[in-house]
Amino acid sequence: MSLFFIVALPFLGALLPGVMNATGRSSTAGVTFTVSLAAFVGLLTNLPAILAGDVVTARVDWMPLLGLNFSLMLDGLGFFFALLILGIGLLIIAYARHYLSRDDNMGQFYTYLLLFQGAMVGIVLSDNILLLLVFWELTSLSSFLLIGFWKHLPEGRQGARMALAVTGMGGLALIGGMLILGQIVGSYDLSVILQNRDLIQADPLYVPALILILLGAFTKSAQFPFHFWLPHAMAAPTPVSAYLHSATMVKAGIFLMARMWPVLSGSPEWFMIVTTAGLITMVLGAVIALFKHDLKALLAFSTVSHLGLITMLLGTGTAFGAMAAVFHILNHATFKAALFMSAGIIDHEAHTRDIRRLGGLRTLMPVTFGIASLAALSMAGIPLLNGFLSKEMMLEEAGHTVLFNSPLLVPVLAVAGSLFSAAYCFRLIGHVFFGPVRSDYPSKPHDPGAGLWLPPAILVVLVVAIGVAPFLAEPFVKLVTASVLGDAAVVPDVHFKIWHGLVPALYMSVIAVVGGLLMLAIFNPALRLWDTTPRPEAKVIFEGVIEAAARIARGLIFPLHNGSFTRYATIATVVIVATGYHAWTTGVVGAATRAVQDTAIVPVIGWLMLVAATAGMVLLHRNRLLSLILIGIVGLMVSIGFVFFSAPDLAMTQFTVEVVTIILMLLALNFLPNRTPIESTVFRRVRDIGVAVIGGLATFALSYHFMLRDAIAAPISEFHLANSYKGGGGTNVVNVILVDFRGFDTYGEIIVLGIAALLIYALTEALLDGPVRARLLNRKPDQPRAGDKHPMMMVVLTRVIMPIVLMVGFYIFLRGHNEPGGGFIAGLIVSIGVVMQYMASGFGWTSARLRYPYHGVIGAGVLIAGLTGIGSWFVGKPFLTSDFAYVRIPPFEKFELATAALFDLGVFLAVVGAVMLSLESFSRLARLAGAPSDDQPMDIDPSRDDDPAPVSGKEA
């Protein structure tokens, strides 16, 4: 299966659980399971190529000039992590079906889970660091939704915010580090970056890039000092916790360090930072885990500890350390997912996770006891289980690692971490399952159905199988290690065996296990000592830092951003003018190369009219209606100016925009007093006049001097003029720029335009459904209204003109590629024609004859434009690359067919929909405000059947 489909399937499948939610819990889980299974099977179809040592790639140029390409790469490392993500994901999906209660929205849960799964698969398969960063941030956002799924729990909301804040901060650092690597190498493709180790490490920016990338990895994988967020994420449902801790989220940082290992490791900076952070995290997490009473909190800190173990192994920079890290990633995923699901079973049946309220479950829950005990013993490093093998390899590597010139520091800390790790594993088994059966369980515990215990049991089978027959995992681990190292030839020639003889690692392991048993024996006095020992609380520190940052931000922002547009404009104008003046006085300005041209009398008259209208608007701006008329005059004069300077496209656009905006603002003014109150003091008005004059003079001076001098570099317009026809197939350069050269900008603009219209609609709906509706119904106009609301002459004229307007709009649309026109102008012209129907015949008459909602028109426009851009991918071209051809169909002359016409159609529909939705929204308010009294017939809005009669002023 194509890598594109493997990545896309979870995202596409995320649309299904919400749709299937009404059909039942089993159907919802079934469709989610099927989507993940399809991606899993698709991944396995690439296994023969991976086993042969090949690298499977897929690539589509997205924005190649920016270095952003949708390129994917599947090697041994990517296959390994994708296998964990999708394989364990299948078990989590099946487990969640039986774990979640009927009160939980299962469709929403599975939607979030598939989005998260897709983001994780995208990370491990990305071959472009910019694409990897997109998926990286998607994991932060989707994990936020999963961690905070139980929104009714304050700790759930807090844990989600904390996780998003910490991992989001790391994500910003990661962006900076990755961009530095891309600049050093000259490419943003990972496959290229991974081949330039010497170039990267010789660059002076290597250390800053390394620190930034490690910040991203450490925050994601909860390494010290960012370890505190992960335990607070335990407020999530247990299926989420099991997934995050075993195969996803926290493993993203580990994956990143493994992926970048060939180019970042081996330097003293890498060794010191990564090894030290891993060791501290390993020991600190294990110590804290031992004294936690909540089962999930214990397991969470154990995850922190084991992530530190893996980080330490990667930090050593040796091939054996990398292989041990890969092996432990596999083993940790199996036993940790099984342990979390076992903790969920206990919580599900006993209704508590507090170890102090448990005990004696060995006889009450024998199946759960067997699963949890085997997984916990594996985590403790007991022989014949897979955790023992990778722990032995870790101790072996630790015994040969010298840190801070001390050959004992790493081995001692590694044994200490293993000792506490064994202790909390023994505590989990002894304090939860052994001891007498209690009579005060919150709920009588018993083994659940197979739906809950079968998924962790499958993982425990792997735990035992790998532990008893390690040779089964050896080829695959070495294959993945070769991908981490970047060279299969340097993979250590060692064999995975249960017995390696009486080696130092064995003695270290025995010390750890025996020490763990002794620590469990003295647990109670150790707990009292732990409780009485003062120590910093990471959560309190984090909240204090966040609050301090918020106070500083408020102190900086509120004095500047107080909601006053006048203040914003003043500050911006003064800063821009001051900066420009400094540049002008300190720079070198050449002599003028052009003479001032003679000006005819007609342009001077037009300029004087423009100045007069502008000055009148400034002086008379408190009269809202008059100032709006003057604004229209200014816009009209600007349109004439565009005509004078041979820019008919701009003139047509400006003119049609003026008509639409004037009508829109007239509708808005209907709800405002005719005059603007005086709110500014005399001093502020004088100040604003001074700033405005200075800004205007500075703009005039800059424009004047630029027009007297030739450009230093060739203007971009020369490229557009030279390539408009041969590159875009059109002679109208302006339209070709909009739909081809800068089509991505236009696409973004129509999306923003549609969003703005939808926001206006949403605000209108809120007003119509709230107390404002009653006020509008009782509103008395301050001026007498005309008796004839729909003059017959205007009604007939607009209905006759409408077909003509549509024909003109169609003509303007078709000619846009070669003559002045295009989708944007055509959309405005058609919008004006429809607006005329509202004005002449009324809201009710016009709305009753609309066959398509404006929301759908906006959506259709954006969809058509987007699909047109995506279509270029199928011929190997970047997004929104247009194509054209000339055809002849007898008896017609030869004419052009261009894909840009489809994109322009999307622009046309989006503009029509956005403009009309905005105007319709204001029209509904205006119509409601002008509702007749009780003794007059009322033209009821057909789109609403709940128009109440006017209420009394007291009720309003």
User: Average pLDDT for residues 944-955, to the nearest whole number?
Assistant: 37
The kind and range of the H/E element at 446 are none
Lowest model confidence (mean pLDDT) among 59-68, 621-630, 699-708: 59-68
pLDDT of residue 704: 87
User: Average pLDDT for residues 526-530, to the nearest whole number?
Assistant: 90
364-397 b/e (C-beta count within 10 Å ≥ 16 → b): bbebbbbbbbbbbbbbbbbbebbbbbbbbbbbbb
pLDDT of residue 258: 94
Is residue 472 within 8 Å of 466, Cβ to Cβ? yes
What pLDDT, in 10s, does the model give residues 435-461? 888 888 888 888 898 889 999 999 999
pLDDT of residue 944: 39
pLDDT over 60 at 845, yes or no: yes
pLDDT over 50 at 940, yes or no: no
Give the whole-angstrom CA distance, residue 769 versus residue 248: 44
Could you tell me which of 289, 222, 506, 272 has the C-alpha nearest to residue 410?
A: 272
Give the whole-angstrom CA distance, residue 326 versus residue 948: 69
Banded model confidence at residue 219, pLDDT cuts 50, 70, 90: very high
pLDDT over 90 at 245, yes or no: no
pLDDT of residue 676: 79
pLDDT of residue 560: 77
pLDDT of residue 681: 80
pTM of the model: 0.74
Banded model confidence at residue 935, pLDDT cuts 50, 70, 90: very low
pLDDT over 70 at 777, yes or no: no
Which residues, 6+ apart, have CB-to-CB distance to 772 below 8 Å?
none
* Residues counted in the chain: 956
Locate all alpha helices (DSSP H) within 186-249, ordered by sequence: 190-193, 197-202, 206-220, 229-232, 238-246
Within the chain, how many helices (H) and strands (E) appear?
Answer: 41, 4
Banded model confidence at residue 786, pLDDT cuts 50, 70, 90: low
In this structure, the number of other CB atoms found within 10 A of the CB of residue 330 comes to 19
Is residue 418 within 8 Å of 509, Cβ to Cβ? yes
Q: What is the DSSP string of 649-716?
A: HHHHHHHHHHHHHHHHHHHHHTTS-SBPPP-S-HHHHHHHHHHHHHHHHHHHHHHHHHHTS--SS--H
pLDDT of residue 930: 55
Q: Does residue 225 have a cis peptide bond before it, meaning omega lies within 30 degrees of 0?
A: yes
What pLDDT, in 10s, does the model give residues 576-634? 999 988 988 888 777 888 888 888 888 888 888 888 988 888 888 888 888 888 888 88
Reduced to 3 states, what is the DSSP secondary structure of residue 559? coil
Is residue 272 within 8 Å of 280, Cβ to Cβ? no
pLDDT of residue 775: 64
pLDDT of residue 772: 62
- 895 backbone dihedrals φ, ψ, rounded to 5°: -140, 165
Reduced to 3 states, what is the DSSP secondary structure of residue 328? helix
Give the whole-angstrom CA distance, residue 632 versus residue 658: 6
Could you tell me which of 130, 7, 140 has the C-alpha nearest to residue 68?
A: 130
- Provide the percentage of residues in the chain whose pLDDT is more than 70: 94
User: Average pLDDT for residues 481-507, to the nearest whole number?
Assistant: 86
Domain boundaries, given as residue ranges, for the chain:
732-956
Give the whole-angstrom CA distance, residue 308 versus residue 287: 13
User: Average pLDDT for residues 69-84, to the nearest whole number?
Assistant: 92
